[in-house]
Structure 1
Amino acid sequence: MKKLVLASIFLALLVIVLGAYTRLTDAGLGCPDWPGCYGTLLVPQSEQHVELANQAFPERPVEAEKAWNEMIHRYFAAGLGFFILVIFFTSLVKKMRGSHGPVKLPFLLLVLVCFQGALGMWTVTLNLLPVVVMGHLLGGFTVLSCLFLLYLRLTPYRIPGGDSQIRHYAKFGALGIAIVVWQIALGGWTSANYASLACTELPICEGDWFSNLDIAGAFSVPVAENYEFGVHDYQERATMHIMHRIGAIVTFIYLCWFAITLYKRSSSGLMKRLATTMTLVLGAQVLLGVSNVVYSLPLTVAVLHNAVAACLLLVMVLITYTMYRKY
């Protein structure tokens, strides 16, 4: 089961990357129905099928590239759901046979991936409602983190000798996870509302940005029939972008402090390596975020920004789990 969990981790990361690619190529509604695409399991290709699809959905004519982006994401997400189902039943059978091993976590994963499927459906049926889009993103990161946590539970490693002093900092690792998740949520909200390019200058937003902040409006959900390309005004989108930048500064400062503290206080070579890894991943994430602004959100950089955010979260989970369970 450990190998299956490891494969699922890579598949979950791929699903997150494909989801980001789908969102950034404006393909979230590439298929206007769910779970199929224009009533079929494949994107309509022949002229006859395209014509029938356009007649069935006149408000959303077939755009093959966007439709394939959306369906490929769904195919891999369905594959991940199948893997998690197998993991759950495998853990359940082992438990019934008297073997030791986690069952609650696989069950939680099964519940999470089912809810993810529902969020994927609502993303389409509610026409990219930002709350749902952001929730779908956070759900993907949650599934990935829980899979990684399950992998760690199945991995028999322990740091010899113990280190009660460094274990005291485990609670700061948990806080670091919360901060990273909050920052991911801010990024998801910014992206879901098409506010990633609301500010095009560094280090601060252009114009009299401070007096134009509209926090209440930025985190509101206006009623609309379709949320594609956003429904908030520029001032509200700029506020979303600024809040994401402020969150990035807070995250950077806190994680730098945490990494330095771990490196200085820990006597374990493993923990020092993890602290160094966290610093490198954090640095890469900051550079990607800056590049998104400087180069006007290039697709490759924006997708990598999501992938590296996932890696940063996994490093934080590994550090915190190690301090709580392995010392």
Structure 2
Amino acid sequence: MTNSRLIDENNSNSLFRKLALLTVVVVYILILIGGIVRSTGSGMGCPDWPKCFGSWVPPTEISQLPPNYQEIYGAKLKGEIEFNATKTWIEYLNRLFGVFTGILIFGTLLASIPFLKKDRPVFYMSLAAFLLTGFQGWLGSKVVSAELSPFIVTLHMLLAIVIVFVLLYVTARSYSGYVDVEKVQNRGILNKWLKWTISLSLLQVVIGTQVREAMDVAITGLGNAQRDKWIDNLGIVFYIHRSFSIVIFLLHAGLLYLLTKNSQTKGLIHKLSSALLWIVFVEIITGVILAYLNVPPVAQPIHLTLAIVSVGVQFVVWLLLNAESVFKKKRVLRAENMNV
């Protein structure tokens, strides 16, 4: 291979890695925005889709709506028939950011085309992320048409996690061989521990969605005036979710202990595992704030996003720990490829 071809290849690899990493960050921001939509009750801020109140640019004041808008949209606005510009624009900006995210994922797919000749799974998984994002957009329209059906909302969130996992896979695979990862002994024990940690963390996320659905019922029944009574009306699912958080924290503490015990250096895997423990700790703190400070809206999206971030980092740790077998390619560092 000539030097010019090698430079071109390195540049395309570097572009893809940076774009893929940026896309993962943007997807997490989108999940955070989605949490804001949910916590502020803005999910039906735009009662139709893809337009908002029949327009591509939503209204900012009631005078821009037809005189009979309450008759047209009243049922879909969940009883909140008075126009709320703040909720409308929160939901609309969520949609716009979703479109921006889709464009980035499409860009990632285009940047992955050169990998067809050298590492096909990168292209095919990028294609999968793009197709899943299209399905996610369609599912988002069903969230609106189903008027925030709990099942559809939960499915929408779980699919977002799948898309994150696919993007994390292609990102980690593209970085494999370009970043230094410490050697870890007794990987069998660590893999078992990680699989339990990932599985139970996903279960905790699902239980969390059940808590949120119970919260919706409590909000509908009690209203904002009795916000201090929401937690008391969540039932046993809340107490399971709260107690299970201790198990999740101990699993992460155990993971960090095992990594420290079975590695001589503190490399990327150790750093990510240390970050994981802090992420879970802050996530638990936000849960405590939700439970004992009358569910402040600002804490809800942070709590959800941290949960999904932690699961994503767990997956990356597992990928890095098993890079040689999962990616099936040599992890060799080259001086000319260190421009990441």
Cα distance, 1:234–1:310 mapped onto 2, change above 3 Å: closer
Measured in 2, the distance between the counterparts of 1:137 and 1:70 equals 16
Corresponding residue of 2:312: 314
Per mean C-alpha deviation after superposition, the further-off stretch among 70-79 and 47-56 is: 47-56
Say how many residue pairs are matched: 293
Measured in 2, the distance between the counterparts of 1:168 and 1:241 equals 32
> What pairs with 1:251-262 in structure 2 (closer than 5 Å)?
251-262=248-259
Q: Is the 8 A contact 1:131 1:189 kept in 2?
A: no
Q: Is the 8 A contact 1:197 1:296 kept in 2?
A: no
> What pairs with 1:27-176 in structure 2 (closer than 5 Å)?
27-45=42-60, 47-51=62-66, 53-54=69-70, 56-59=72-75, 60=77, 61=81, 62-91=83-112, 93-95=113-115, 98-101=117-120, 102-155=122-175, 156-159=178-181, 162-166=183-187, 168-176=189-197
CA drift of 1:130 comes to 0.8
Partner residue of 2:200 out of 179, 184, 187: 179
Measured in 2, the distance between the counterparts of 1:267 and 1:197 equals 51
Question: Which AA in structure 1 matches 2:172?
Answer: L
> What pairs with 1:261-300 in structure 2 (closer than 5 Å)?
261-270=258-267, 271-300=269-298
Q: Is the 8 A contact 2:185 2:262 kept in 1?
A: no
Which has more helix, going by share of residues?
A: 2
Q: Is the 8 A contact 2:218 2:233 kept in 1?
A: no
Aligned residues: percent identity? 20
Measured in 1, the distance between the counterparts of 2:52 and 2:143 equals 14
CA drift of 1:283 comes to 1.3
- State the superposition RMSD in angstroms: 2.8
CA deviation digits over 1:157-197, x for unaligned, max 9? 2436x434235412321331121111112112211342698
Measured in 2, the distance between the counterparts of 1:304 and 1:234 equals 18
- Provide TM-score, normalisation by structure 1: 0.80
Partner residue of 2:238 out of 241, 247, 255: 241
Question: Which AA in structure 2 matches 1:277?
Answer: A
CA drift of 1:47 comes to 4.9
Question: Which AA in structure 2 matches 1:15?
Answer: L
CA drift of 1:48 comes to 4.6
Measured in 2, the distance between the counterparts of 1:120 and 1:82 equals 16
Measured in 2, the distance between the counterparts of 1:128 and 1:67 equals 15
Q: Is the 8 A contact 2:184 2:259 kept in 1?
A: no
Q: Is the 8 A contact 1:16 1:141 kept in 2?
A: no
Partner residue of 2:29 out of 2, 11, 14: 14
Q: Is the 8 A contact 1:133 1:192 kept in 2?
A: no
What 5-or-longer segments of structure 1 have no aligned partner? 199-225
Question: Which AA in structure 2 matches 1:240?
Answer: V
Q: Is the 8 A contact 1:189 1:240 kept in 2?
A: yes
Measured in 2, the distance between the counterparts of 1:241 and 1:35 equals 35
